[in-house]
Amino acid sequence: MKTYIKKIYKPMLIFLAVAFLYNCQNQQKNQQTKEEKKMNVIKENFGNVDNKEIYLFTIKNENGMEVNITNYGGIVTSILVPDKNGDFDDVVLGYDNLDGYLKETPYFGAIVGRYANRIAKGKFTLDGVEYILAANNGENHLHGGIKGLDKVVWDAEEFQSEDGAGVKLHYLSPDGEEGYPGNLDITVFYTLTNSNELKIEYSAKTDKPTPVNLTHHSYFNLAGTSGRDILEHVLFIDADKYTVIDESLIPTGELRDVSVTPMDFRKPTTIGSRINKVEGGYDHNYVLNNGGEFAKVTELYDPVSGRIVEVFTSEPGIQFYSGNFLDGSITGKKDVVYSKHFGLCLETQHFPDSPNQVNFPNTILRPGEEYKYTTVYKFSVR
Ligand code: GLA
C-alpha cells in the first residue's frame, strides 16, 4: 500500500509543480502583452516653441502601422503603411524635424482652423456685428489666419482606447484670436486603430457665437517616398455636386452638377486624366452625398503600390486639393523635392465662405452648443 501511494504521489507532485510553473510563466506573458500594449504610444521631445515643450508621439498598432503626431499645430508628421508586398513607407508629406514646420509649411499634416478654407475678404457679419479677420490669401482669409491652429502649441496627452491608442490635443483659442469672437475650447482626439484607421474626433465649445470649421490637412502620396507624383492615383468622391468658385477660389454660391465635367469622380478615375481641363488643377469643395451621416465619401488608390486610403465623415463637404501650389521649392522628408502635384489633400469640412453664404449649411456655433464630428482615414491594399 505504502509503495502504491509513493508511486502515485511522486508523479502527482511533479505534475503539480510543472502546472504551477506553466501558470506562472503564462501570467508573466499576459502581463508583458498588457505592458507592450500600453507602450504603443512613445513620447519624445521634438523641440521648443514659445517656451513650451513640443513632443513627437509615435503610435504603433498591432499590424505595424505607425503614425507620428506633434502637439505643434496638431501635425501628423508621418504615416507608415504597407504596400501590396508588405513594404512600409511614409504616405504623407512633411519635414524630418520641427524646424521645417516652423520655417514654412503649406499646412502639411496640420489641424486647420478656426475656419478651414476661405472667408471672402476676411469679413463676415454675425448677429448684426461685422468681424474683420486677417487677409492672408490675397484679399481673402485662409485656414484660420496668420497664426491659425496649425501654428499653435496644443496641450497633449497620450491615451489607450478599446480600438487603439492615440493622442488627445486641447487648445483654448482666446476671444479675438485672429479676429474671431469668443473663447473657443477645442479638443481633438487622434486615434490609430488596430484596423489601420487614423480616426480624428473634433469637438469645440464657445462662449460667444462664432464660425467654426475644423479640418485636417495631410498631403497624401500613396506612392510613399518613391518620387512619383499623385497624377496616377485613382480617386473616387461620392458627390453629385461641387461648389463653383471664382478666380480667387471663393464660392459663387452655385452648386453645380459634376456630370459630364472633369469634376466627376463618382466612378473611380485617374486624377491626371482630366486635370489639364481644370484651370489651376483641382482645388474644389465637393458637396457630399452622405446626407450628414457618417459614411464613406472618398477612396484614393495607387495602382502601382496597391495602397488605398478611404475617407469616412459626416461633414457635408470635402476639399480635394491636388497640390497645385507645390512648386519644388520645398525639400521635405528624406530629401524628397515636393514639386507640383506631389501630394493631395482630402479635407473634410463645411463649405468655404459659409459665414457669407446664406444657402450653405450653417457653421455658426453658439454658446451651449457643441461642435462635434469624426473623420476616419482607413488604409488598406489591393
Ligand atoms: C487648401 C486650399 C488651397 C491651398 C492649400 C494650402 O487646400 O484650398 O487653395 O491654400 O490649402 O496651400
Q: Is the pLDDT of residue 21 over 80?
A: no
How far from 68 is each of 61, 139, 164, CA to CA, in Å?
12, 35, 14
**Burial of 209 per CB tally in 10 Å (0-12, 13-18, 19+):** middle
Residues 244/261, Cβ–Cβ less than 8 Å: no
Residues 77-115 have pLDDT tens digits of 999 999 999 999 999 999 999 999 999 999 999 999 999
Active-site residue, 170 included: no
The whole-number pLDDT of residue 337 equals: 96
Sequence-ordered alpha helix ranges (H) in 204-297: none
Q: In whole angstroms, how large is the CA radius of gyration of the chain?
A: 25
CA distance 182 to 5: 84
pLDDT at 251: 98
Using CA atoms, how far apart are residues 344 and 269, in angstroms rounded to an integer? 15
Structure confidence at residue 32 (pLDDT): 43
Residue for grid cell 488608390: 301
| pLDDT computed for residue 40 by the predictor | 86
Q: Which residues line ligand 1 (CB under 6 A)?
A: 106-107, 117, 142, 249, 283, 319, 321, 325, 345, 347
Ranges of each domain in the chain: 1-34, 41-381
The whole-angstrom separation of Cα 310 and Cα 163 is 18
The residue among 322, 333, 69 whose CA lies nearest residue 224 is: 333
Look up residue 325 and give its three cell numbers.
501650389
Question: Closest ligand 1 atom, CA of 325?
Answer: 12
Q: What is the pLDDT of residues 127-181, one digit of tens each?
A: 999 999 999 999 999 999 999 999 999 999 999 999 999 999 999 999 999 999 9
> Which residue's CA is the closest to the ligand 1 atom numbered 5?
106
In angstroms, the Cα distances linking 50 to 64, 72, 94, 110, 175 are 34, 11, 21, 18, 20
pLDDT in tens, 297-335: 999 999 999 999 999 999 999 999 999 999 999 999 999
Q: Could you say which of 143, 216, 217, 284 is catalytic? A: 217
- Distances in Å between the alpha carbon of 360 and those of 42, 290, 333? 42, 16, 38
3: three-class secondary structure by DSSP: helix
pLDDT at 245: 98
CA 321 – ligand 1 centroid, Å: 7
Class of domain 41-381: mainly beta
Catalytic residue check, 141: no
pTM attached to this predicted model: 0.90
